[in-house]
Homo-oligomer: A and B are copies of this chain.
Amino acid sequence: MQYDSKSLYDGLVASGLIVPSGEPGVFGRNAVFEDVLERFNALVGRIAQDDKAEKFTFPPTLARGIFEKSGYMKSFPQLAMGVVCFCGSAGDHPKLVQRIAEGQSYDDMMERTGVMLIPAACYPVYPSFTGTLPAGGRLVDMTHWVFRHEPSDEPTRMQAFRVREFVRVGSPDEVLEWRDMWLQRGLDLLRSLGLPAQEEVASDPFFGRVGKILANAQKEQKLKFEVVVPVISEEKPTAVCSFNYHQDYFSKTFDILQANGEQAQTACLGFGLERVCMALFKHHGFDPARWPEGVRARLWPEQA
């Protein structure tokens, strides 16, 4: 199989699966793309069913105070997306309109608002754990739009995409056992869909020179794993599922205690839903009606 970014992007566009918008990493998805995405997400739901996670849905914007408290601007400032608004008077408005008409900057007329865009599906949930957990901890299930400022023509590198994410909070043993179980589940799931999935020790894109040290420490301690599949490159396969063990980072930040009064720990895992779809289109073709029977039976079981 030949891999390259441009031919995948062009194929997705030519087959109507994605609709370009003029901004890199921002595009529409058609009904066929969405059906694959929803079917994969539903399959994850069936696998997770007996875990009895609590389901929540948070909006794509997050209180700025929570975002800042989480430390995101320390670790990944280059990816963060803040929100601004026009708070001027009716008297200021003609100037704003004129600047836009003339293609001039009007940035100085925009002010920061109280929100940021959520960078990962789990960020809104940690503050809701503040306090003492029930015995056995908690498990939360979310599907959210998330945002990264990294404009790119590479189709798997989007400015906005959806993640099906689970967050486990509890004792270190509970959290690690759950993470390890899902690492195997993730591999089994993706392989059952005919994808050559592999597990890798990974690191987050920490910013700057200090960031390189943090990333190395994260790798050494095996705090992050990814399940990767070749999508646009064989040498650098694409992460389609990511597992982060935060130890007590978020539980200290947001004051989360176990039922026994000890500090809790957290871990999360997320499937990048668009990336899974693109991996499927890459490996099985742009027309899901012609995908291998075993793959179709997994995603559309009622038609099998």
Q: A residues near B, CB below 8 A?
A: 19, 21-24, 26-31, 33-34, 54-66, 68, 73-74, 77-78, 80-88, 90, 93, 96-97, 100, 105, 107, 110-115, 117, 124-125, 127-128, 145, 147, 149, 151, 158-161, 207-210
Which residues of B lie under 8 Å from residue A63 when comparing CB positions? 21-23, 26
Q: List 5 A-B contacts (CB under 8 A).
A: A73-B96, A73-B97, A78-B85, A80-B86, A81-B84
Shortest A66–chain B CB gap in Å is 6
A77 in contact with B82 given A61-B159, A159-B61 (CB within 8 Å): no
Which residues of B lie under 8 Å from residue A31 when comparing CB positions? 54-56
Which residues of B lie under 8 Å from residue A80 when comparing CB positions? 85-86
In the complex, the answer to whether B61 meets A147 with C-beta atoms within 8 Å is yes
In the complex, the answer to whether A28 meets B83 with C-beta atoms within 8 Å is no
In the complex, the answer to whether A59 meets B26 with C-beta atoms within 8 Å is yes
Shortest A238–chain B CB gap in Å is 19
Copies in the complex: 2
Which residues of B lie under 8 Å from residue A90 when comparing CB positions? 207-210
A31 to B, closest residue via Cβ: B55
In the complex, the answer to whether A86 meets B96 with C-beta atoms within 8 Å is no
In the complex, the answer to whether B60 meets A60 with C-beta atoms within 8 Å is yes
- For the complex, what is the distance from the CA of A21 to the CA of B67, rounded to whole Å? 11
- For the complex, what is the distance from the CA of A291 to the CA of B234, rounded to whole Å? 54
Residue in B22, B57, B62, B111 whose CB lies within 8 Å of A127:
B22
Which of A24, A86, A105 counts the most B-chain CB atoms under 10 A from its CB? A86
In the complex, the answer to whether B159 meets A19 with C-beta atoms within 8 Å is no
In the complex, the answer to whether A77 meets B93 with C-beta atoms within 8 Å is yes
Which residues of B lie under 8 Å from residue A26 when comparing CB positions? 59, 61-63, 115
In the complex, the answer to whether A85 meets B82 with C-beta atoms within 8 Å is yes
In the complex, the answer to whether B22 meets A83 with C-beta atoms within 8 Å is no
Shortest A124–chain B CB gap in Å is 6
In the complex, the answer to whether B60 meets A145 with C-beta atoms within 8 Å is yes
- For the complex, what is the distance from the CA of A28 to the CA of B83, rounded to whole Å? 19
In the complex, the answer to whether B208 meets A93 with C-beta atoms within 8 Å is yes
In the complex, the answer to whether B62 meets A114 with C-beta atoms within 8 Å is no
In the complex, the answer to whether B56 meets A23 with C-beta atoms within 8 Å is no
- For the complex, what is the distance from the CA of A154 to the CA of B111, rounded to whole Å? 23
In the complex, the answer to whether A112 meets B117 with C-beta atoms within 8 Å is no
